Structure 1
Amino acid sequence: MTGSPASAGLALSEDAVFADFAARVDLSGAVVAEIGGSVAVETTERHGVACWYAVDPNRAAYTAESGRYRVLRARAEELSLPDASVDAVFSSNAFQFLDVASTLAQAHRVLRPGGLLYAHFGPIWSAIDGHQLEYVRYAGRDLVFWRDTYLPPWAHLAYERAELAELLAGALPADLAELLLWHVHDSDTVNRLFFEDYVSAALGSGLRWVEVTASAQLDYVISAPFDPSALRAVTEEELTARWTRRRGRPTQIGIRDVLMVLRRPD
C-alpha cells in the first residue's frame, strides 16, 4: 500500500481524475465499468475503449451509436455484468453514496484477474462539509455546497440535533432550517462512513490494495450566515476524540477526498 491519509496532492476536478486513471490503465481495447456515469461518451471513444459501461441508477438506459458506450440503469451494488468481464472499474465522486462493501464485492466479481479498480470520492462523512448539500432542493433550485453555505463548519459532527435546530432557526427561514436539519440528521443521501470504514471494506473485499491517498483540502470558503459568537468552537482533535469514543475505534476527522486503487489478484 502506498500513499498517506495526510497527503494533499489529489486531483480535484473530474477531468484531472479521469486523466490520472487513463495514465494507469491502457484503455485501448479495454472494457470498463464506471460507477456513477460521469465520463462523456466522446472521452471514452477517443481513448479507444472496446466498451464503456456507465452504471447509474439515475440515468435512462442508453447505447451510443457506436455500441461502445452503454448506460446501465442499475445500482453499483447490483451490477448486471458477467463475472470476470471487465478490465477496470472507474468511479469519480460516487462511493460516498453507496454501500461500499457490496459495491467492492461486485467489483471483485466483474473484474478480470489483474483488473484495476480506481475510485476517487469526496467529500466523505468525516469532512468539514460532509453533508453533500448540493442534493437539496429549495425555492425551485438545487443548492450547491460551495455557494449555498447555510450550514456551519462541522454541522453534522459537532452539533447535536437540538443544538443545530436552534442555531438554524435563529438565522434562516423556518422552512429552509427544517429542510437542512432533516438533511443533516435524517437523509440517507450519503452513506455516513468515515475513512476507516472505507479502509475496512477494502481490506475485506478480496482485492489487493495498490494505493490509498487522502486529503483534507477544502477548495472553497464556508461563510455561513451566523453570528460568530453563536457558533461552537471546535477542533479536529476534539471531534476525533469524540467520534473515536462514540464508534469505539480510532476514527480520523477531516479527510475530505480519497483515492483508492485496488487490484483483483491474478
Structure 2
Amino acid sequence: MPHWIHLTYSQEEIREMLSKRYRIKDVENILQAIFKSDWLNRLHFEDYIDIFKESGLRIAKIETTEEIDYPFIYPNYGIEEVTIQEKLNKFHEENNRNYKCRDMLVVLVK
C-alpha cells in the first residue's frame, strides 16, 4: 500500500482500489489489518507527547525522523504519490497533526 493511504482515503475507497487487483477475501483481510487490527499503532505524535506529559516524568530528549529508510515500490493502484501527499497535507492542516513523524526516540527522567 502507498504510504499514508489509510489516512487519506476511506476504507470504502481503498476497498474499491484493491478489488480491481485482488480477491475480495484478500481485500477484506487487508482492510481488517489496516483499520481494525490491534497490531498497528494508531496513536499520533501528539498523543505520545500528551502521555509523556501526564506520566509525571520529565522529557529530557525527543528525536524524530520522517525518513523511510528502505526501498518501497508498490503496485499502481491508479493514484499518484503526489495525490496522496496533497491529501495528507490538507488533512494535516485541517487536523493540526504531525503525520510526518515515522519514528521517535524519547528519553524520560524522574
So what's the TM-score if we normalise by structure 2? 0.86
Residues 71-150 of structure 1 correspond to what in structure 2 (within 5 A)? none
Question: Percent of counterpart pairs with the same letter?
Answer: 29
What CA distance in whole angstroms lies between the structure 1 residues aligned with 2:23 and 2:14?
14
Structure 2 residue aligned with 1:255 = 101
Q: Mind listing any 5+ residue stretches in structure 1 that lack a counterpart?
A: 1-150, 245-249
SS in 1 for 2:16: helix
**8 A contact 1:239–1:253 mirrored in 2:** no
Cα shift at 1:213: 0.5
Structure showing the higher helix proportion among its residues: 2
Q: Distance in 1 between matches of 2:70 and 2:49?
A: 27
Deviation at 1:200, TM superposition (A): 0.6
The answer for the alignment partner of 1:184 in structure 2 is 34
Structure 2 gap segments, 5+ residues each: none
| Structure 1 residues 162-185: Cα deviation after superposition (integer angstroms, max 9, x where no partner) | 100001111223322111111111
Amino acid at match of 1:217: E
Is 1:238 aligned to 2:84, yes or no?
no
SS of the aligned residue for 2:91 comes to helix
Q: Which whole-Å CA distance do the structure 2 matches of 1:171 and 1:210 have between them?
A: 48
1:210 to 60, 69, 82: 60
Q: Which residue identity lines up with residue 209 of structure 1 in the other structure?
A: I
Q: Quote the residue 1:154 is aligned against.
A: 4
- The alignment partner of 1:259 has SS state of strand
Between the aligned partners of 1:196 and 1:224, the Cα distance in structure 2 is 29
What's 1:170 paired with? 20
Structure 1 distance, partners of 2:74, 2:20, is 12
**What's the TM-score, normalizing by structure 1?**
0.38
Q: Which has the larger radius of gyration?
A: 1
Distance 1:225 1:191 in 2: 24
Equivalent AA in structure 1 for residue 91 of structure 2: L
CA RMSD of aligned residues (A): 1.6
- What is the SS of the residue equivalent to 1:253? coil
Distance in 2 (alpha carbons) for counterparts of 1:161 and 1:194: 19
Summarize the alignment of residues 33-48 of structure 1 with structure 2, pairs less than 5 Å apart.
Answer: none
Instruction: Give the Cα separation in 1 of the matches to 2:70 and 2:53.
Output: 32
Q: Which residue of 1 aligns with 2:43?
A: 193
> Using CA pairs below 8 Å that are at least 6 residues apart, which structure has the higher relative contact order?
2
